[in-house]
Chains A and B, each alone.
Chain A
Amino acid sequence: MTPSRSQTGSKHWIQIGLLTTVLTLIFGGLFSTSALADEAGQDQPYKVVGNVKNEGLPLEGVRIVVSGGGYTEETVTDADGKWLIGVPEKAAYSVSLDQTTLPAGIAVIEEGGAEQSVEIGPSGSVTKNFFIGEGERIVVSITDQLIARIIYGLNFGLMLGLAAVGLSLVFGTTGLSNFAHAEMVTFGAVAAFFLGGILSMPIWIAIPVAVVISGLLGWGLDAGLWRPLRRRGLGLVQLMIVSIGLSLAGRYVFQFFVGGGTNQLPGFDSPKIKLFGATSLSVIDIASMVLSLVVIIGFAWWLMNTQTGKATRAISDNADLAAASGIDVDRVIRTVWIVAAGLAGLSGVLWAYFRPGIKWDMGAQILLLIFAAVTLGGLGTAFGALLGSLVVGVLVEVSSLVIPSDLKYVGALVVLIVILLVRPQGILGRKERIG
């Protein structure tokens, strides 16, 4: 779509102003919907199309949003009630109709309401026509929406937390800011896809096996790469850049094998169950939350009570002292890599269900959120990372109530910067000494 350039200057000034406002401060409610054409994203390979009619009469100017897999595009219907939105992948998308743009007295009257999910068919397109008729618009109260968002956010946050505690443990014990952690997340999902999707293992076997393979990857990375590099005495910045190289190489290796598109894990489209208010979760969502909780509690127990867990905390606290008091630092770090990679793998599987879909750069998509979580909590403190993840998860979801959903990660990243301004050592971190 070619944006129209013929509008009056004043509107541009306002929007430029907005752009800068957003840079420093994300503030909801300022956003006016810009006038858009009835077609959006035509240069994308796949299409979602539809026709909005009430008793045969086309409805013009109804706002439609299509989103999924990190992509969001919106448009409004033309005089014939038609709309078309191009999408980048042959995958599942959610289509929502903004009921506030419908004429008074009518509403979407089909099961599931104004937000429906569709999947691109073999033809490369899919049609979604909403059933519209006279009826009370089901207005969701703001508290219900908020509660729903908080619950989705907790789900997202728990999933992030699985990845974040691992990143934080690795940082705590080795000082490495591991950018390749994103690829360990992707690896878990890709492994689950190969086992469940291609080798057709039942998913409840495929997932644990994928997590175990992820743990093995962690072991392999430490044995084959990180430990030798530590032995060589590479500096932390050097190690960090090595991890960036590994991250780049890793994500393109995934692309090499699974291609540039999105693939689904079995059971990704399990139906949503309406719980209360505006909250509806699928069986997978609920299982995902329970699983993350159980694993995180298990992990916390491990960290607090086992010999290795205690040693891990001792090393994070003071590596030299720990080594001097007889802790086998290399062995503990090896364990930390295995645990971190296993947790990252599991979080990748859950992320594949949350998005939904596996993709070569899916880990990289949330890497910054994971870093934000770890930094918020205070680099190197595992429980801080968990707390940070929950904050980030909830923030991302709740902020999408007030800012456009394609900007929802921005809120979390801005908060990251702001928190560092106020408390550079993170929520639970400690200050360093000078001199």
Chain B
Amino acid sequence: MSSSANTPIKPAAKTTGLHKGEIRPGVAKVDPIVTIDGVSRRFGGLLAVDVEHLEIPRGAITALIGPNGAGKTTLFNLLTGFDKPDTGSWSFSGKSLAGIPAFKVAQMGQVRTFQLTKALSLLTVLENMKLGAKDQRGEKLLYSLFPFLWKPKEAEIEAKAMELLKRFKLDAKKDDFAASLSGGQRKLLEMARALMTDPVLVMLDEPMAGVNPALTQSLLEHVLGLKTQGMTVLFVEHDMHMVRHIADWVVVMAEGKVVAEGPPDQVMKNTAVIDAYLGSHQDTDLGTITGRITLPKGKK
């Protein structure tokens, strides 16, 4: 069924040497961009997130994986200021983020997307994009009343937006309401919009879910492209083939805890991971059970 099964996946250049010392959950990184210490979040009786120590390496692509309900989205919310942890401290580029509201976190260059896509339905695709732009004085109330103060910048922003839209193959749709886009196109739009903010760290919550397999390949390239442009990527994904293909580092969560981390090949072999994902079906291939892409067994 899937086209990507036929196209051989190009091996991506992996970034290595990210960690210091023996690989185990919570291992220190050479150059961490995000550091999490003792962060926990409880919903009623459920301890949704309980991370003792975690560092996300700078300039690399890190995948956050784990079964449904493992607490990945909750951790995203905590890191980006959309939710407050009950305990713990966490920092971004060395600055503590405790008590910093979500919009300031985003301004610092840590930008996220949402698992349930948030396209701004009644804005056009282009307006969606422009909304992501930084440093538009016209967004200030007093400046907004004097078009000559913000028109020049607006043209700049529009050019940048069009460039990104072209990359994401949405340029033909620029004047359509976002509401008219398909689910996959909205995912793309949300990602493109996040990139309008010139982020330092891009956090993607299941960027591939619902995206047409024909598009996954180009999306993967976009994500890899972010790394070449010097950004750090942290993404949540259930598709193990994608994880294996583009991630430089993988963090595995289960029941709120980090149960394993390491380079993709090593992590996939880790028994704790296989336990967390498969329970008793230990003989099944991880990629086939969790990924949308089913590769014929022999082809690996």
Indicate whether A and B are direct neighbours in the complex (CB within 8 Å): yes
Give A contacts to B, CB under 8 Å: 434-435
11 residue pairs bridging A and B, Cβ less than 8 Å apart: A434-B77, A434-B82, A434-B83, A435-B73, A435-B76, A435-B77, A435-B82, A435-B114, A435-B115, A435-B116, A435-B205
Main secondary structure of the interface of A (DSSP, over half): loop
Residue of A whose beta carbon sits closest to that of B73: A435
**Measured CA separation A256–B203 after assembly (Å):** 61
Mask, B56-86, CB within 8 Å of A = 1, is 0000000000000000010011000011000
Question: Which residues on A sit within 8 Å (CB–CB) of B116?
Answer: 435
Across the A-B interface, the 7 shortest Cβ-Cβ residue pairs: A434-B82, A435-B114, A435-B77, A435-B73, A434-B77, A435-B115, A435-B82
**Measured CA separation A435–B83 after assembly (Å):** 10
Residue of A whose beta carbon sits closest to that of B113: A435
Question: Which residues on B sit within 8 Å (CB–CB) of A434?
Answer: 77, 82-83
Give B contacts to A, CB under 8 Å: 73, 76-77, 82-83, 114-116, 205
**Measured CA separation A71–B182 after assembly (Å):** 58
**Measured CA separation A405–B207 after assembly (Å):** 59
**Measured CA separation A434–B116 after assembly (Å):** 9
What is the CB-to-nearest-CB distance from A367 to chain B, in angstroms, rounded to a whole number?
Answer: 32
**Measured CA separation A435–B113 after assembly (Å):** 9
Residue of A whose beta carbon sits closest to that of B205: A435
**Measured CA separation A435–B114 after assembly (Å):** 5
9 extra A-B contacts, CB within 8 A, seeds A435-B73, A435-B115: A434-B77, A434-B82, A434-B83, A435-B76, A435-B77, A435-B82, A435-B114, A435-B116, A435-B205
**Measured CA separation A434–B102 after assembly (Å):** 12
**Measured CA separation A171–B117 after assembly (Å):** 27
Question: Which residues on B sit within 8 Å (CB–CB) of A435?
Answer: 73, 76-77, 82, 114-116, 205
What is the CB-to-nearest-CB distance from A52 to chain B, in angstroms, rounded to a whole number?
Answer: 60
Question: Which residues on A sit within 8 Å (CB–CB) of B83?
Answer: 434
Question: Which residues on A sit within 8 Å (CB–CB) of B114?
Answer: 435
What is the CB-to-nearest-CB distance from A431 to chain B, in angstroms, rounded to a whole number?
Answer: 8
**Measured CA separation A435–B73 after assembly (Å):** 7
**Measured CA separation A359–B76 after assembly (Å):** 55
Question: Which residues on A sit within 8 Å (CB–CB) of B115?
Answer: 435
Residue of A whose beta carbon sits closest to that of B80: A435
Question: Which residues on A sit within 8 Å (CB–CB) of B73?
Answer: 435
Residue of A whose beta carbon sits closest to that of B83: A434
Residue of A whose beta carbon sits closest to that of B114: A435
**Measured CA separation A435–B77 after assembly (Å):** 7
**Measured CA separation A435–B205 after assembly (Å):** 9
**Measured CA separation A434–B79 after assembly (Å):** 13
Question: Which residues on A sit within 8 Å (CB–CB) of B82?
Answer: 434-435
What is the CB-to-nearest-CB distance from A424 to chain B, in angstroms, rounded to a whole number?
Answer: 14
Residue of B whose beta carbon sits closest to that of A431: B43
What is the CB-to-nearest-CB distance from B179 to chain A, in angstroms, rounded to a whole number?
Answer: 13
Residue of A whose beta carbon sits closest to that of B48: A433
**Measured CA separation A305–B243 after assembly (Å):** 50
What is the CB-to-nearest-CB distance from A176 to chain B, in angstroms, rounded to a whole number?
Answer: 22
What is the CB-to-nearest-CB distance from B299 to chain A, in angstroms, rounded to a whole number?
Answer: 36
**Measured CA separation A305–B203 after assembly (Å):** 47
What is the CB-to-nearest-CB distance from B256 to chain A, in angstroms, rounded to a whole number?
Answer: 15
**Measured CA separation A336–B73 after assembly (Å):** 36
What is the CB-to-nearest-CB distance from A83 to chain B, in angstroms, rounded to a whole number?
Answer: 54
What is the CB-to-nearest-CB distance from B72 to chain A, in angstroms, rounded to a whole number?
Answer: 10
Question: Which residues on A sit within 8 Å (CB–CB) of B205?
Answer: 435
**Measured CA separation A435–B78 after assembly (Å):** 11
Question: Which residues on A sit within 8 Å (CB–CB) of B77?
Answer: 434-435
What is the CB-to-nearest-CB distance from B255 to chain A, in angstroms, rounded to a whole number?
Answer: 18
**Measured CA separation A425–B115 after assembly (Å):** 24
**Measured CA separation A435–B116 after assembly (Å):** 6
**Measured CA separation A2–B115 after assembly (Å):** 64
Residue of B whose beta carbon sits closest to that of A430: B44
Residue of A whose beta carbon sits closest to that of B102: A434
What is the CB-to-nearest-CB distance from B263 to chain A, in angstroms, rounded to a whole number?
Answer: 28
What is the CB-to-nearest-CB distance from A381 to chain B, in angstroms, rounded to a whole number?
Answer: 15
**Measured CA separation A434–B118 after assembly (Å):** 11
**Measured CA separation A137–B70 after assembly (Å):** 71
**Measured CA separation A434–B115 after assembly (Å):** 10
**Measured CA separation A435–B76 after assembly (Å):** 9
**Measured CA separation A435–B81 after assembly (Å):** 12
Residue of B whose beta carbon sits closest to that of A434: B82
Residue of A whose beta carbon sits closest to that of B76: A435
Question: Which residues on A sit within 8 Å (CB–CB) of B76?
Answer: 435
**Measured CA separation A251–B82 after assembly (Å):** 43
What is the CB-to-nearest-CB distance from B203 to chain A, in angstroms, rounded to a whole number?
Answer: 11
What is the CB-to-nearest-CB distance from A317 to chain B, in angstroms, rounded to a whole number?
Answer: 14
**Measured CA separation A109–B82 after assembly (Å):** 66
What is the CB-to-nearest-CB distance from B64 to chain A, in angstroms, rounded to a whole number?
Answer: 14
**Measured CA separation A233–B235 after assembly (Å):** 36
